[in-house]
Copies of this chain bind each other. A is one copy, B any other.
Amino acid sequence: MSRNNKSVGVVKTKYFEFDELALASGEKLAPVRVAYETYGKLNRDRSNAILLCHALSGDAHAAGKHRKISRKHGWYDIAVGPGKTFDTRKYFVICSNVIGGCKGSTGPSTINPKTRKPYGIDFPIVTIKDIVAAQKRLIDHFGIKKLFLVTGGSLGGMQVLQWAVTYPESVHLAIPVATAAKQYPVGLVFNDIGRRAILNDPDWRGGNYYDRGQPKRGLSLARQIGHITYLSQETLLRKFGREKAKRGNGKRKFGIEYELQSYFDHKGKSFVRRFDANSYLYITNAIDHFDLTEGGKRKLADVFKKVKAKFLLVSFTSDWLYPPEQVEEIYAGLAEAGVPSVYKKLDLPYGHDGFLVYNNTLGNLLLKFIENEARKYFKAV
């Protein structure tokens, strides 16, 4: 992840629409819109595509800016661009917003064609399988038979696993980062508490708040609950420690007294401006239902038997939401299934957020692996 390399410049979100998607629940979603962005050029034989899968609060805008004057870059700009880890001089990089989301793809805030009002919680339940199925339609639309690489962290990593399992012919390399083959109890409880915070907010109004405004307090609280699980004690100590807030309202009882509180308050409030509360319910619900073992009915090694991708798995020592053991469980399952894979546990202090934080340790690891595999792959193709 070379900070000094160039940006992809000004980009635009595009939309791909199709008639309907049969969901894992048995319901149908119709029509379906998938928001996406691409960077770089698809080569002639359509073999150089990389699919980036975003995490809970991400979107299709992974790199570049939407306006020349904007200072805001895509969520993975540090890694996507000419000369960067996902080198847009070589690869055609695709990132699409998950269905159920609120960043351009069909989700609970979309107008339901049957009622001409936003779906709200009439929106059908979506799973990681559905999210990936919608991405597959986009990939088909590009005429791509096989993705050179599918990668992502956290929820993104679950999508990577689902891709490799459901579409084994379509994935050459898979790099899931800081993720798990199933959602574990601690993560499930945190997501559930976040959902309760939203559902408890009187402004949620059973999900029909679109004409009145978001359930601000509940959504802000949900985000704060999530955010603390992404960070490490070390990060918080280094950034804030027990420093008193510069602009607090600490004279009010139980107000903002520490810089730390001010930071989390800000994180919550800014999330309300950019994310839909119902999408938060649907996407965390999809994460919590993710379980490749299907409730323990299937062994991971059996699930992975048909996988054809080669894997690089990455975990972080300071990640307590998706700790190394959970990535190691995937690694063991792949090994037992005979899937070629490399596992790296990185001793980095950034907590779960390590998959997003700029650092050379992760950047160089990905870069070397990808370059090495590319040399073999593009000679052979």
Contacts and interface: CB of A to CB of B under 8 A. Distances in A.
A261 interface: yes
Contacts of A237: 184-185
A75 interface: no
Nearest to A281: B254
B192 A264 contact: yes
A190 B253 contact: no
A159 B254 CA distance: 21
Contacts of A199: 254
Contacts of A254: 121, 195, 199, 281, 285
B228 A183 contact: no
Interface in A269-298: 281, 285, 288, 291, 295-296
Nearest to A186: B233
Contacts of A295: 242, 244
A186 B236 contact: yes
A247 to B, nearest CB: 16
B201 A242 contact: no
Contact of A242 (B197, B253, B291): B291
Interface string A162-203: 000000000000000000001111101110110111011110
A185 B218 contact: no
B242 A183 contact: yes
A190 B217 CA distance: 16
A144 interface: no
A197 B221 contact: yes
A259 to B, nearest CB: 10
A135 interface: no
Contacts of A185: 233, 236-237, 240-242, 260
Contacts of A313: none
Contacts of A241: 185, 296
A184 to B, nearest CB: 6
A270 to B, nearest CB: 16
A224 interface: yes
Nearest to A258: B188
Interface string A110-151: 000000000001000100000000000000000000000000
A238 to B, nearest CB: 10
Interface string A332-368: 0000000000000000000000000000000000000
Nearest to A320: B320
B217 A200 contact: yes
Contacts of A374: none
Nearest to A187: B233
A200 B218 contact: yes
What 4 A-B pairs have minimum CB-CB distances, sorted nearest first? Answer: A185-B236, A200-B217, A189-B228, A186-B233
6 contacts: A185-B236, A185-B242, A186-B233, A189-B228, A189-B236, A254-B285
